[in-house]
C-alpha cells in the first residue's frame, strides 16, 4: 500500500475510535450500575445484530450509492460493542470468581478474549475477500464476500445474545456474588462450647 492509502486508513480508524469506541466505554462506565451488566451485554449483542443485518441486507445500496451511510452504521456497531460485551467481558470476570481464584480466572478470561479478537480480526480479513479469486486481494484466497460476512456476524451476535448468561452483580458485594459470604456466615454462626473442651 502507498503511504497516502495507509494514512487514509489510519485516519478513518482513528475517527471511528474517537466517535464511537471511546464513547461506548464511557457509556458503560456511566450506566453499568444503572442498567446492570446483564442488560448491557444483551443490549450490545442485540444492537450489533441489528446494525449488521442493516448493513448486509441492502449491501448493494451501501456499496454503490451511500458509502457514508455504510460507515455511519458500521461505527454504531463499534459503539455498541463497547457499550456492550466488549466491556462486560472485562468487568464480569473480576467480580464473579472467588477471591482465591479471581486473578487466575480473570487472566484466563482475558487470554480467551484476546484470542477471540485475533481470530475475529484475521478471520474477517479472509472471509470478506471476493468469491472470485481473481478479484480477491493479492495473496488472499477467495472468501465469501463482505455481504455474507456481515450476515455471518449478525448470526454470531444473535448467538451471543442467546448465550448471555452473565450473573448480575449490580449492587452486590464481591463476597455475595462469589458466595463467599455463606461460608463466612457459617463460620460465624458456629458457637464455641467450652464445656466440651477436653484437656489432655
Q: How far apart are CA 71 and CA 67, in angstroms?
A: 6
Average pLDDT over residues 175-191: 58
Could you tell me if 71 and 63 are in contact, meaning their C-beta atoms sit under 8 angstroms apart?
Answer: no
**What pLDDT is stored for residue 155 in this prediction?**
93
Cell of 2: 502507498
Q: How far apart are CA 90 and CA 93, in angstroms?
A: 6
Given phi > 0 = left and psi -120 to 50 = alpha, else beta, which region is 9? alpha
**What pLDDT is stored for residue 40 in this prediction?**
93
Q: What are 140-170's pLDDT values in tens digits?
A: 788 788 888 889 999 999 999 998 887 777 7
Q: Is the dihedral of CA 150, 139, 141, 63 positive or negative?
A: positive
Strand ranges in the chain using DSSP code E only, listed in sequence order: none
Domains, the chain:
8-168 (1.20.1250.20)
Amino acid at each position: 500500500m502507498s503511504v497516502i492509502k495507509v494514512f487514509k486508513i489510519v485516519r478513518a480508524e482513528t475517527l471511528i475510535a474517537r466517535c464511537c469506541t471511546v464513547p461506548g466505554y464511557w457509556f458503560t462506565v456511566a450506566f453499568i450500575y444503572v442498567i446492570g451488566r446483564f442488560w448491557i451485554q444483551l443490549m450490545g449483542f442485540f444492537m450489533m445484530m441489528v446494525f449488521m443485518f442493516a448493513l448486509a441486507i441492502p449491501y448493494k445500496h451501501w456499496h454503490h450509492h451511500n458509502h457514508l451511510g455504510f460507515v455511519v452504521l458500521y461505527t454504531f456497531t463499534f459503539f455498541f460493542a463497547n457499550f456492550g460485551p466488549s466491556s462486560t467481558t472485562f468487568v464480569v470476570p473480576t467480580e464473579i470468581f472467588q477471591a482465591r481464584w479471581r486473578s487466575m480466572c480473570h487472566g484466563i478470561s482475558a487470554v480467551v478474549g484476546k484470542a477471540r479478537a485475533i481470530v475475529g480480526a484475521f478471520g474477517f480479513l479472509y472471509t470478506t475477500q471476493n468469491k472470485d479469486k481473481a478479484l480477491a486481494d493479492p495473496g488472499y484466497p477467495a472468501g465469501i464476500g463482505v455481504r455474507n460476512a456481515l450476515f455471518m456476524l449478525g448470526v454470531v451476535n444473535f448467538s451471543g445474545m442467546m448465550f448471555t448468561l452473565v450473573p448480575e452483580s449490580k449492587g452486590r458485594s464481591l463476597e455475595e456474588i462469589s458466595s463467599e459470604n455463606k461460608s463466612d456466615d457459617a463460620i460465624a454462626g458456629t458457637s464455641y462450647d467450652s464445656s466440651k473442651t477436653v484437656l489432655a
